[in-house]
């Protein structure tokens, strides 16, 4: 019997990271998690797998990868709030770009050759057409997106010079959670639409819809909501692709279907059988009217397809988790 592949996951105590760790373990991988617990939760990581350290500590990270005989890395650890990045760009370039450089340096020293990187649809900025193809220009319009573009650039050079192979997964709107309710989405502060809509139902405090005058069917923004477990599965497919000798590449991870904010409100009302209290407010700075992925490349090249593709299922899973916490 072959021994399980040893994978290091940075940011594995966070929302997407912890769902991916759970899926990796279910699929027989041996996982070590590095997380500084600044945003993630210790309880999200199975006992004995968490190494509480900062990925900016290149030396400690190198040692850990040597000790655990890491074969590949999945890199989630990052700051994620677009609005905050417009106020504190330094935090984003430090935590996302510089810390990733530290990780890549450690990988080099420990002779680890494969990386799956959490990139984002924010690398495209305000795309000129929809759905978005991977070949569209990278024109981030905020420091968050730019910090990820910079890591994709680092990856290109580490590939060309050091033969590190990588897959950058450009996420659309991750949402939903483990159907069994073991893990969920818990950001502090919460900025994401679906948990905010569920919170509005629970508390009666209205949620603000950011803009009702966009050039979309009902005037509200369109996004491509992707179930976090379908996103997690894309990481595992990317990992297998790289470990089988695949060349470096970039993939969108979305369903290819867009929903307006009003459609999300209706889905929450159907699932909870309650009204969502909301008010229409001004547009949020930096919000593109529509972001919908073309997921053709991910489907055809990595054989991915969403298991939980419809918005209602995503909302149902998120609602189960929200109820279990209240």
| 206 touches 295 (CB < 8 A) | no
Question: Please, which residues have CB within 8 angstroms of residue 47's CB and are 6 or more apart in sequence?
Answer: none
d(C-alpha 216, C-alpha 84), whole Å: 27
Report the residue from 155, 207, 234, 236 that binds ligand UDP according to the rule CB under 6 A: 207
Minimum distance from CB of 80 to ligand UDP (Å)?
9
Using rule CB under 6 A, residue 196 touches ligand UDP: yes
Nearest to ligand UDP of 78, 207 (CB atom): 207
d(C-alpha 151, C-alpha 50), whole Å: 25
Nearest to ligand UDP of 217, 303 (CB atom): 217
Instruction: Identify residues 123-182 at the interface with ligand UDP (CB under 6 A).
Output: 173
Report the residue from 126, 208, 305, 324 that binds ligand UDP according to the rule CB under 6 A: 208
Q: Is 124 in the active site?
A: no
* Per-residue binding letters, 221-250, with ligand UDP (x by CB under 6 A): x-x---------------------------
Distance of alpha carbon 30 from the chain centroid: 21
CA torsion, ordered 239, 243, 244, 248, to nearest 10 deg: 70
Which of the residues 92, 124, 144, 308 is marked catalytic? 144
Sign of CA dihedral 235, 238, 244, 248: negative
Stretch that binds ligand UDP, among 5-13, 24-32, 135-143, 187-195 (CB under 6 A): 187-195
Short-list 261, 200, 249, CA closest to 225: 261
Using rule CB under 6 A, residue 203 touches ligand UDP: no
Using rule CB under 6 A, residue 266 touches ligand UDP: no
**Separate counts of helices (H) and strands (E) for the chain:** 11, 14
Report the residue from 210, 240, 310, 313 that binds ligand UDP according to the rule CB under 6 A: 210
Report the residue from 68, 91, 191, 313 that binds ligand UDP according to the rule CB under 6 A: 191
Using rule CB under 6 A, residue 192 touches ligand UDP: yes
Minimum distance from CB of 193 to ligand UDP (Å)?
4
d(C-alpha 309, C-alpha 101), whole Å: 34
Q: Rounded to whole angstroms, what are the CA distances from 132 to 154, 187, 296, 317?
A: 23, 27, 10, 27
Catalytically annotated residues: 144
């Amino acid at each position: 019997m072959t021994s399980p592949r040893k994978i290091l996951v940075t940011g594995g105590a966070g929302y997407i990271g912890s769902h991916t760790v759970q899926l990796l373990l279910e699929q027989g991988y041996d996982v070590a998690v590095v997380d500084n617990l600044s945003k993630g939760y210790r309880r999200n990581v199975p006992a004995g797998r968490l190494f509480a350290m900062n990925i900016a500590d290149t030396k400690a990270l190198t040692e850990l990868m040597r000790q655990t005989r890491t074969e590949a890395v999945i890199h989630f650890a990052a700051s994620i709030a677009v609005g905050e990045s417009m106020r504190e760009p330094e935090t984003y370039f430090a935590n996302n770009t510089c810390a990733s450089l530290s990780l890549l340096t450690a990988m080099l020293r420990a002779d680890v050759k494969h990386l799956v990187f959490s990139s984002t649809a924010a690398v495209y900025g305000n795309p000129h057409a929809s759905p978005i193809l991977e070949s569209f220009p990278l024109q981030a319009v905020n420091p968050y997106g730019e910090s990820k573009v910079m890591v994709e650039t680092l990856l290109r050079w580490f590939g060309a010079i050091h033969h590190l192979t990588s897959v950058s997964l450009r996420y659309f709107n991750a949402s939903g959670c483990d159907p069994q309710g073991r893990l969920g989405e818990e950001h502090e502060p919460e900025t994401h639409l679906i948990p905010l809509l569920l919170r509005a139902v629970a508390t009666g405090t209205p949620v603000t819809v950011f803009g009702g005058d966009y050039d979309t069917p009902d005037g509200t923004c369109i996004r491509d909501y992707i179930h976090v477990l379908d996103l997690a599965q894309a990481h595992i497919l990317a990992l297998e692709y790289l470990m089988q000798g695949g060349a470096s590449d970039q993939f969108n991870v979305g369903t290819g279907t867009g929903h307006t904010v009003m459609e999300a409100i209706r889905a929450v009302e159907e699932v909870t059988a309650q009204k969502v209290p909301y008010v229409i407010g001004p547009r949020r700075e930096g919000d593109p009217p529509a972001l919908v992925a073309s997921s053709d490349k991910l489907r055809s090249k990595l054989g991915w397809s969403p298991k939980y593709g419809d918005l209602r299922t995503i909302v149902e899973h998120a609602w189960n988790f929200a109820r279990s916490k209240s």
